Amino acid sequence: MTDGLQVIRRALLSVSDKLGLVSFAQGLRELGVELYSTGGTYRVLQEAGVAVREVAELTGFPEILDGRVKTLHPHIHAAILARRDDPEHRATLARLGIVPIDLVVCNLYPFAAVRRRPGSSHEEIIENIDIGGPTLVRAAAKNYAFVGVVTDPSQYAPVLEEMRQHQGALTYQTRERLAATAFEHVAHYDREIAQYFAQLLQSETFPLHLHLHFERRQFLRYGENPHQQAAFYIEPGFAGVSVATSQVLHGKELSFNNILDLDSALGLVREFEQPGVVIIKHNNPCGAAVAGELVEAYQRALEGDPQSAYGGVVGLNRVVDAATAQAMVESGQFIEAIIAPDFEAEALEILTKRPKWRANVRLLRAGKLQENGQRSAFDYRHVEGGLLMQTRDLTRDDLLTARVVTRRQPTEAEWADLRFAWTVVKHVKSNAIVIAKAGQVVGVGAGQMSRVDAVRIAISKAGPRAQGAALASDAFFPFRDNVDEAARAGITAIVQPGGSVRDQEVIQACDEYHIALVHTGIRHFRH
């Protein structure tokens, strides 16, 4: 090692992922590097005509136990771990006839992929627990002062480029960065294995030790506010329909707040069976509607609160057609982002050809919104010094088990409005009130400290449209004043969880006003 440079004279290659392997090995050979390899990696290189020798030539010992033991040998690990600046280490290598290995190229058995692959047996999963690979990687990473370690095909090109610039050597800084990546590679691999066994043996929903792993996709311009830094991390292996797995078709970079709002839009709109549209503003739905046609659903969602909708995010549960796209651009609204299963070609052209729209709107293709598709099982909320974990509120209660507690039963039309309002209120910040009529949200009261204030806000938004509408509350009414306000506005049906000590007082008030009241027994707080 001179001035931090370590010449790479000898490399050991043992990879599960063969992507780019041959060209990388050829590049190493062109730089005069002597190559040793194992099993399948050796066969691939040999068939490609790359000059390579078997590891058994270094160890004097064949691969055994169906390849389970290949590199677990003192001649391999001494060659990697020996300090080049230690005379005793050099003397030991010379006495035992061990030649140093300067570069280890190793990625591990595809445990995570096999674990997540449908139909994989327990035996297959266990067989993909790599033993020799992590040991090689850790040894090389520990001795990064003298040894390089490559764990991902994406590193092949920059490693070769640096070696060409430095006559076959790698810099200290590069070896250090490679080591850091290598330790993270092994740590993630071990976490996957630990999580598999935890799920296999765990009798409780929440593990004693929680290990989360996310990969950084991108830096964001800023967080909730310009003075905050932010980045977007994704969950490796997650294949469900989500903002994280969506494809950005058009528009500038998504912001921190865009991602939060898009997630909320997708979470709500996927609950509707009919063509549906939601408009999210500050993480709350200010408009939502279902209809026979998507364009009508958009128009009715916008009518719910056009003032609040300005600068919002739109979610749709059907492929965006030309008529819907045209309605959006003609609405005079500024839309931050649109997420939908897909966009017809003509719709894409409409949404991106106007200068104002082309410059500002982001379009995301989410894919088919399959209700039985993969969903995240848990919600996580960070608090200073700790983390809250809960199962996600994925309840699809359609009021089948709800009880009518008043003398008057809801009409068929009121039942439809109650179901729709109850679906939407689950996605509104508590205290939450939603007023709906004929498949359209006409008033929302969100995030109020007092429930009756939330009722008043929703009623003020609804105006005359509250006449004959249904009202949903995410939690019980603590006092009858909520019913009094609703009755004055013309509300005819209410759905709420029930469970208050004053339930009877609230029921009596509804009977006085001939309002149909439904108790669900289920609460939907969203803090």
Residues with a known catalytic role: 142, 282
Provide φ and ψ at 362, rounded to 5°.
-105, 135
CB-based burial of residue 25 (10 Å sphere; 0-12 exposed, 13-18 middle, 19+ buried)? buried
Q: What count of other Cβ atoms lies within 10 Å of the Cβ of residue 439?
A: 20
How many Cα atoms within 13 Å fall on the side-chain side of residue 207?
14
Q: How many helices (H) and strands (E) does the chain have?
A: 20, 23
CA distances from 117 to 211, 212, 452 (A): 21, 20, 50
Strands (E), 151-189: 169-170
Cα–Cα dist 211/201, whole Å: 16
Q: What count of other Cβ atoms lies within 10 Å of the Cβ of residue 136?
A: 29
Cβ-contact 233, 216 below 8 angstroms: yes
- Is the preceding omega at residue 225 within 30 degrees of 0, hence cis? no
The set of residues, in sequence order, having a beta carbon less than 8 Å from that of 348 and lying 6+ positions away, is 249, 250, 325, 363
Cα–Cα dist 257/281, whole Å: 10
Hey, which residues does 390 pair with through a beta bridge?
379
Q: What count of other Cβ atoms lies within 10 Å of the Cβ of residue 280?
A: 29
Strands (E), 282-377: 284-290, 312-316, 335-340, 362-365
Q: What count of other Cβ atoms lies within 10 Å of the Cβ of residue 526?
A: 18
